[in-house]
């Protein structure tokens, strides 16, 4: 389990996973099975990062205010 697993999907996509940071690449992602939004193409159908262990430096360096506030 990662700190990101508890993050609500709309917040996660807005805050940090709206695109792949190295290329800016996006893919269509369905929120609640109905609303299509642009998101990182490495998110699985549940919004978890499929490459978390090998994620790029930009993802590793991201400071999440929500996670920090909950510590």
Question: For the segment 6-62, what is each residue's pLDDT rounded down to a tens digit?
Answer: 888 898 899 899 999 999 999 999 998 789 999 999 999 999 999 999 999 999 988
* pTM for this entry: 0.82
Dihedral sign computed on CA atoms, order 64, 33, 54, 27? negative
Q: Indicate the domain borders of the chain.
A: 3-70
Q: What is the dihedral of CA 29, 46, 50, 22, to 10 degrees?
A: 30
């Amino acid at each position: 389990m990662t700190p990101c697993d508890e993050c609500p999907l709309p917040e996660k996509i807005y805050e940090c996973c709206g695109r792949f940071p190295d290329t800016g690449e996006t893919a269509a992602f369905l929120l609640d099975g109905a609303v299509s939004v642009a998101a990182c193409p490495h998110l699985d159908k549940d919004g978890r990062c499929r490459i978390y262990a090998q994620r790029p430096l930009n993802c590793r360096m991201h400071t999440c205010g929500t996670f920090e506030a909950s510590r």
